[in-house]
Amino acid sequence: MSTSKKQILVTGGAGYLGSIMVPELLRLGHSVTVVDNFMYQQASLLDCCADKKLQVIRGDARDEALMKKAVAGADVIIPLACLVGAPLCSQKPIEARTINLDAIKMLVDMSSKDQMIISPTTNSGYGIGEKGKFCTETTPMRPVSLYGKLKVELEEYLLASGRAISLRLATVFGISPRPRLDLLVNDFTFRAVNDRFIVLFEAHFKRNYIHVRDVAGAFIHALDNFETMKNEPYNVGLSDANLSKMELCLEIRKQIPDFCIMESEVGEDPDKRDYIVSNDKIEATGFKPKHSLQDGITELIKGFQIIRRNQYSNI
């Protein structure tokens, strides 16, 4: 396991995942340069500013001159800058392509063979799975959204570089200094806390989930085990959380008993994903998530005593 301190470049480092990951990387002794355009006016890294190992650059990850300078000193590149999710990408298809794909391909092209890349992709690339059959890293990718398609194309490019790890993230949940309320677990829990009811479309659609702190942990695990894990994709999710939307709501109801769950016979979910996922491959490398779905729901309920308005959505 690598214990050497690294110089790490994180684009989008003030986002939902970055604002959990960057403080943890600093705590472990790494030096971190964050490039972020702060498009959501977030103040999520203020508590890290006293750390001399942190550098913050306010800028756009698509800016070639800026990124050339930022890449030059890095041992590791973690490209988190992204328009996340199917709805946002379908609203802004040009920005989605330039940020989620072109900007990261540019990073691959301008970096050297000695620089490591650990990138989030998504298990939404599986699209619509087969009933009762787990999606593994060898399952054909059949993305149903622009977001999924761009991530699948990106992964191919990354792995062809010979020095990248692709983490296919499940649907992330949990509280972060830069909250997101448009993620499924976070959204449903917010509704349970504030409205006490929800109307579900296509309630049987299944997907996999993972806590945001465990995602940060997976990146650090990949960094520490880079040589043995490189050039491969890995699903990152909770193996006991392949749940339908109805099952997820029933989990939330364990903590909010008066949560009323209704199913609609009409209407469609714009996000058509429906699959279950195996996380055996990354678990075989020694990675184990530490935060259960119920832990995350408890944490979200607490967080929603602080966050009162729906001001933290990407869409």
More confident residue, 106 or 84: 106
| Confidence band for 105, pLDDT divided at 50, 70 and 90 | very high
| Confidence band for 3, pLDDT divided at 50, 70 and 90 | low
State mean pLDDT over 261-270: 80
Residue 257 falls inside a structural domain? no
Residue 260 falls inside a structural domain? no
The torsion angles phi and psi of 120, rounded to 5 degrees, stand at -80, 130
Residue 250 falls inside a structural domain? no
The torsion angles phi and psi of 237, rounded to 5 degrees, stand at -160, 175
Residue 2 falls inside a structural domain? no
DSSP H or E run through 157: helix 146-160
Note the pLDDT of residue 40: 87
The tens digit of pLDDT for each residue in 167-178 reads: 999 999 999 999
Q: Are 265 and 271 in contact (CB under 8 A)?
A: no
Per DSSP, 32 falls in state E
Residue 261 falls inside a structural domain? no
- Please state, in angstroms and rounded to a whole number, the distance separating the CA atoms of residues 127 and 28: 36
Note the pLDDT of residue 129: 80
- The whole-model pTM stands at 0.94
Note the pLDDT of residue 87: 87
From the list 101, 144, 94, the residue with the least C-alpha distance to 123 is 144
Residue 258 falls inside a structural domain? no
Q: What is the mean pLDDT of the chain?
A: 93
- Domain hosting 197: range is 7-242+269-306
- Please state, in angstroms and rounded to a whole number, the distance separating the CA atoms of residues 201 and 40: 29
CATH number at residue 228: 3.40.50.720
Domain count, the chain: 1
Question: Would you state the structure tokens that stand for residue 230, as one six-digit string?
Answer: 């490189």
Q: Are 143 and 151 in contact (CB under 8 A)?
A: yes
Single-letter residue type at 138: T
Statement: residue 203 has pLDDT above 80: yes
Statement: residue 82 has pLDDT above 50: yes
The tens digit of pLDDT for each residue in 297-311 reads: 999 999 999 987 655
Looking only at the bridges linking them, the beta strands covering 242-244 and 206-211 are antiparallel
The tens digit of pLDDT for each residue in 133-156 reads: 899 999 999 888 899 999 999 999
Residue 21 falls inside a structural domain? yes
| Confidence band for 314, pLDDT divided at 50, 70 and 90 | low
């790890």: which residue's tokens? 165
- Please state, in angstroms and rounded to a whole number, the distance separating the CA atoms of residues 67 and 115: 14
Residue 311 falls inside a structural domain? no
Q: Rounded to 5 degrees, what angle do the CA atoms 171, 306, 210 make?
A: 15
Statement: residue 205 has pLDDT above 70: yes
- Please state, in angstroms and rounded to a whole number, the distance separating the CA atoms of residues 306 and 30: 31
